[in-house]
Amino acid sequence: MSEGGRKVAGMSSATYSYLRPSGLADGGLSLQTSGGVAQRAAAAARPRFFSGFVTTAEPVAAGLLAVAEVARTRYYQPLSPRSLDPVVTGSRDRLRFESFSGCCGVYARMDVLPAALDGETPDHGTTNVDVNAPLRTALARVAGSSALRLDVGPDDLTVTTMHGSVVEKKVPLPTRWLRGFAEVQVIASRFDPRIEVSAAEAAAFLRRAASPTDRTVLWVVPSGRSLRLTSRPVAGAVCLPGQGRLAVLRPLLRFATTLRAYGPPVGPGSAPVASTWEIETPSLRVSLTLSPEPSRGFSGEGAVLTALATDEAIADADLISALLSWDPTVDVDALASAAALPADRVRAALTQLGTAGRVGFDVADAAYFHRVLPYDAAAAAKLNPRLIGARQLVADGAVAVTDNTARVRSGEETYDVAVVDGAPATCTCPWWARYRGGRGPCKHALAVGMVLTGDREAVPA
């Protein structure tokens, strides 16, 4: 965990403060929060989202350690461990803990399910929690029938006296995490379940995983009751980019009942894609979503840009935001009916809300879920420079569209964007030549799409 509000080099960040360090005492785990939003305790400066015991202490402790370990790890170009604090969300029937790796290429989440919670119903809200070195040591000692109590967001305050002093921790939450949350929910919403194996097969598979620094992109296919690795994609395969990134799941194997893998459709010749790997126990689920390549962070994938490029998505997001209830999952069809909007516009609005951290996607439930972070949707453009550049090109009148081609004047250069079925496709710019659409559209294609749909409002730089 970072001390004293230290900024991470090269990142903008938001600073949080804690009343005191998290700790384990008297059989209870007290997770200190930085405050947040809670429905029942909206007036409280530091609301509680949950107070009670967990019925399976050891698995929950191991899962929280796994999420915290991802937060402090850089899988690509490893550096000294850096601990950033997991985000916790109360959602009526469960608690969710989330984090990104230091390189932003691994998204980890633990869902503590209703069967594991023995206390008041979790309140609705989101904050980040302090998981420091002493707490990690304490969690590692939880074993067997140990009791474990979760108090997320206590109301008390430590005061400095002659016998001690108030401990106030400040940690940065990088905007890369916010961008990562937005990208992951769009990418994961396209996943389907592809693989499911027993705990025994999961153990055999994960124990073969290479070291965390392994960068090989492999593919996994079912082979009878087990799994087989291959270097080339085939129909039904799940991409495994950097198999060593799954090593953090190994401590959970002794509690596991099932290993599942999720991914998009692939076939021979497919490029590397993201995937989700999930360990399930009777009381919780822990999942890792891996970026398409170990060198790629989710914050730059560009999956949200097409949805954000329309003015109607911003207006629709305001309407959908007002209609959102705090159910454990978000029903897209119900929202579409209530808002009198097509389902695709509701999904685009959810993407817009995702840029403010308000929406995530759960591949196990195949549904969106609520999250509240201290950002608003107005920050979406600032977090996506290509979107700013595209709107500036439109405002400057730099886009000229014909039937099958658009010419875009960008600085001293002019690029041609192919128009296929009324939508921008390829571009002659260096970005397209490098990524071939694999990192989302370039700003020239975005600008052409805005002109084609009539969304011409410019966002000031």
Angle between helices 175-188 and 343-354 (to 10 degrees): 160
160 pLDDT tier (thresholds 50, 70, 90): very low
Q: Kindly tell me if the per-residue pLDDT of 7 is higher than 70.
A: no
Per the prediction, the chain carries an average pLDDT of 78
Structure tokens at 152: 């997320």
CA-to-CA dists, residue 387 to 298, 401, 448, angstroms: 17, 19, 12
Cα dihedral across residues 321, 322, 323, 327: positive or negative: positive
193-214: average pLDDT: 84
Backbone dihedral region for residue 227 (phi beyond 0: left; psi -120 to 50: alpha; all else: beta)? beta
CA-to-CA dists, residue 428 to 393, 432, 443, angstroms: 16, 7, 12
Structure tokens at 369: 């879920």
Q: Which of 236, 99, 102 has the alpha carbon at shortest distance from 181? A: 99
What pLDDT was estimated at residue 282? 94
Q: Kindly tell me if the per-residue pLDDT of 202 is higher than 60.
A: yes
Question: Whole-angstrom Cα distance, residue 29 to residue 18?
Answer: 15
Is-contact 324 339, C-beta < 8 A?
no
What pLDDT was estimated at residue 377? 52
DSSP E strand boundaries for 184-298: 192-198, 217-223, 226-230, 238-241, 258-263, 275-280, 284-290
Most confident of 33-37, 91-95, 418-422: 418-422
133 or 383: which leads in pLDDT: 133
What pLDDT was estimated at residue 224? 83
325-335: average pLDDT: 77
236-245: average pLDDT: 92
Cα dihedral across residues 298, 304, 309, 312: positive or negative: negative
373 or 298: which leads in pLDDT: 298
Q: Kindly tell me if the per-residue pLDDT of 404 is higher than 90.
A: no
- In the chain, what are the domains? 17-159 (3.10.150), 190-300 (3.10.150), 305-379 (1.10.10), 385-453 (no CATH)
Q: What contacts 245, CB < 8 A, 6 or more positions away?
A: 75, 105, 106, 212, 288, 290, 294
pLDDT digits 0-9 by tens, 48-86 = 677 778 888 899 989 999 998 998 888 876 665 555 678
Is-contact 329 96, C-beta < 8 A?
no
What pLDDT was estimated at residue 176? 78
239-254: average pLDDT: 92
Question: Whole-angstrom Cα distance, residue 177 to residue 1?
Answer: 15
Q: Kindly tell me if the per-residue pLDDT of 155 is higher than 50.
A: no
20 pLDDT tier (thresholds 50, 70, 90): low
216-227: average pLDDT: 89
Residue type, 240: L
DSSP structure class, residue 440: B
Is-contact 54 117, C-beta < 8 A?
yes
What pLDDT was estimated at residue 166? 29
329 or 332: which leads in pLDDT: 332
Q: Kindly tell me if the per-residue pLDDT of 43 is higher than 50.
A: no
Q: Kindly tell me if the per-residue pLDDT of 158 is higher than 50.
A: no
What pLDDT was estimated at residue 416? 92
Q: Kindly tell me if the per-residue pLDDT of 337 is higher than 60.
A: yes
Q: What percent of the chain has pLDDT over 70?
A: 73
- Residue-wise burial string across 249-277, b where 16 or more C-beta atoms lie within 10 A, e elsewhere: bebbbebbeebbbbbbebeeebebbbbbb
**Sequence-separated contacts (24+) of 413-420 with Cβ below 8 Å:** 415/444, 417/444, 417/445, 417/448, 419/448, 419/452
Most confident of 118-127, 165-174, 374-383: 118-127
339-353: average pLDDT: 85
3-18: average pLDDT: 45
Q: Kindly tell me if the per-residue pLDDT of 373 is higher than 80.
A: no
What pLDDT was estimated at residue 210? 62
What pLDDT was estimated at residue 268? 93
